[in-house]
Chains A and B, each alone.
Chain A
Amino acid sequence: MRLLTVELTRLRLRRAVLVLLGLAAVIAILMFAGTAWDSRPVSDEELAQAERQAAADANQPWVEESLRDCIENPSNWGLPGTASEADCEEAVVPRAEFYVSRQPLDIGEARTGIGVGLAGVVAALLMIASVTYAGHDWATGSMGNQLLFEPRRVRVWLAKAAAVALVAALASAAILAAFWLGIWALTESRDIAVSGDQWRKILALNGRGVLVGAGAALAGYALTMLFRSTVATISLMFGIAVAGNILIGLLPLDDSERWLTPTNIYAVLAGRYEYTFFPPCSGMDDSCDGIEKVITLTQGMLYFGVPLAIVAVLSLWLFHRRDVP
C-alpha cells in the first residue's frame, strides 16, 4: 500500500501524464460540443427558409418529370411496385425537411458511434500516458535508484502496475461519466425521451470503457517495462496500429475482419460487432451471398486479454531477472 501511494504520487507529479489526461478531457468536451451543435433543434428562421426553398423548388419542371418517372417505375425511387401516386408525391415533391439536414439527437446512435469512439480515444491516450510514466524511470536511470530503496522487484512492478491501472480506470470513468452527464443534460433540455434500457446500455458501455482504459494503460506499462524505452513501445504500438491490420489482411485468412484490431475494440466497447462476411464463391450458386457474423464481447475480450496477460507475465518475469542499469 505504501509503494502504491508512492507510485500514485509519482504519476501525479509527471507533467506529461497530466497533459495527456487533460488532452483526454478536452477531446471529450469537444466531442460533446460537436454532438450538441450537430443535433441542435431547427430554429424558426431555418424552418422558414427551408419552406421557402421547398416551395420554390416544387415549381421546377424536373419535379413534374420525376413524379411521372416515379409513378411509372417506383423501384427507381426505392418504392415498392404497388406504390401509389401519393407515395410518389411524398418521395419526390420537395418539402421543408428536405432542406434541413440536421437530425435530432439519437441517443442510441450516440452510444454506438461517438460513445464508443470517445472510450477508444481515452483508452489510447491513457496507454500513452502509462508508457511515458514507465519510460521516464528508465530514461532517467531513476529505476536503479528506486530499487536501492525497495529491492523487491516484483512488489515494485506490481505497485507501478496497480497505480497505472487505478489512475486509468478513475480517469476514464470520470471523463466518460462527465460526457454522458452532459448528453443527459442535453436530452433533458431538449425534451428528448430516453428509455431506461438505453441508459443501462450506456452504463454498460462506460463500464467496458473503464475496463478498456485500465487494460490499455496496463498494456502500455507492461510493454515499456519490457522494452525499457518509451520510443520502442510507442513505435511498436504505432506499428501494430498501422502495419498490423495490413498484415492480417495479407494473411491467408478467410475471415480477416474477425482478427482486425479496430473491429475487436468495437466489439469490446459496444458489446458486439456485426459484419457481413463474403466467402469465396464461384458465382454459380447461392454461396456468393454474404453471411451475417458477429464478434462477441467474449471474443473481443480474449483477443486483447490473452496477449495482455502474456506481455504482463513476461514483463514482470524479465524485470525480476534482468540487470538494471
Chain B
Amino acid sequence: MSDFVIETTGLRKEFVSRRGGRLVAVNNLDLNVRAGGVHGFLGPNGSGKTTTIRMLLGLARPTAGTMALFGRPVPHHLPEVMTQVGAVVEAPKFSPTFSGRQNLQLLGRAIGTPDERVDEVLETVSLTGRDRDRYKSYSLGMKQRLAIAATLVKQPRLLILDEPTNGLDPAGIREVRETIRVLGESGVTVLLSSHILAEVQQVCTSATIIGNGRVLASGKVDDLLARGTSYAVRVADPERAVAVLNEVKLPATLDGEIVRVDTDRSPAEITRHLASHDLWVAELTPVRQDLESFFLDLTSGDTLGAEAAKGDNQ
C-alpha cells in the first residue's frame, strides 16, 4: 500500500487547439502528497494546477502518465475512491435556480448521503439561515462556502481545493483558511491549489511548486524556505569581500554597505573565507526568504503555461 494519498507519475496533458496545434498544459508531472496535513499546490496562472486537479478527479483525461488516489489507480478506480474525496474545482458551480440546500441534497442523494448530513454541513459553513434561498441570490463568499459545504457532504479523507478563497472578503478568507487548517489537523489531507503565496505559507505544511506543467520544487514548507536562505554580512571592506566570496563560488552581491550572500552552504564557510583574507566579520545575519521570494526565484525564468507549452512542442 502506498504512503501517498495522491500520486502522479509522468502525468501529461495536451490540448489540441482549433488551429490544430498542440498545447501542453501538464508535462511529465510527478506529484506526491502524503496523508494528513495541508499540502500547497503552487504555480503561476496557466502553470497546469487546475488541469492536474481535473485529471485527478476524472474530469479530464490525461494524455500520458499514471495517477493514483489512496493507492488506487484512477480514473479506473475513481468510483471506489471518490466517496472519500471532496473537491472544489475553480469557481463553485451549482444550479442557480435551486436553493443552496436543494443543490447539496441532490449531490448528496446521488451517493446515498442522508439529508441530515446536509443540515450539518450547512451549519458548519454558517449558511443555515440562507439555505432555502436561491443559489443565484448568494454573494460570492456564500457561494464559496456552499462549495466547501458540498465537499464536506461526503465526510472526505481527501479535500482538493482549487483557489478556495477567490473572491472572498478578508473575514471570509480568514474563515476559510481556518477551516482548512482545522481539517488538516483533524486528519483530513488537503491539497490546496493557490497562487496566493502567503496563504500557502500560513496554512500548508508541505508544498509543491509547479511551472510550465512541471514540478519545480516539492517538500515541507520549512525545507523549501531553508533552501532559499541568504546571509547579510557586515565587514570593513565590503567590495573586497564580494570579490573574495565570488572567487570561491559563494554568490555575493553588494547591497549598500551590506554584502548579501545567497547560498545553502554553512555560514562558517563565509566567515572562514573572509578571515583568510583578513576581512573580519562584524555581523552575519541569516535572511530567511519568504515563500513569495522563493516562488518568484523558481518561476522567474518561466513564461506562463500555454506560452511555454507551445515551445515544448517545437
Contact = CB atoms under 8 A, between A and B. Distances in A.
Contacts of A200: none
A141 B79 contact: no
Contacts of B89: 144, 148
B29 interface: no
A141 B103 CA distance: 13
Contacts of B106: 6, 9-10
B58 A146 contact: no
A323 B112 contact: no
B54 interface: yes
Contacts of B75: 151
A146 B97 contact: no
B87 interface: yes
A106 interface: no
A47 interface: no
A6 B78 contact: no
Contacts of A151: 57-58, 75, 78-79, 82
B93 A3 contact: no
Interface in B122-155: 150, 154
A2 B97 contact: no
Given A151-B75, A323-B60, A145 B107 contact: yes
Interface string A1-18: 011011001100111000
Contacts, number: 72
A145 B93 contact: yes
Interface of B: 54, 57-61, 75, 78-79, 82, 85, 87, 89, 91, 93-98, 102-103, 106-112, 150, 154
Q: Is the interface of B mostly helix, strand, loop or mixed?
A: loop
A149 B94 CA distance: 13
A294 interface: no
Interface in A132-185: 136-137, 140-142, 144-152
A318 interface: no
Nearest to A5: B109
A137 B93 CA distance: 10
Nearest to B80: A151
A48 interface: no
A23 B298 CA distance: 61
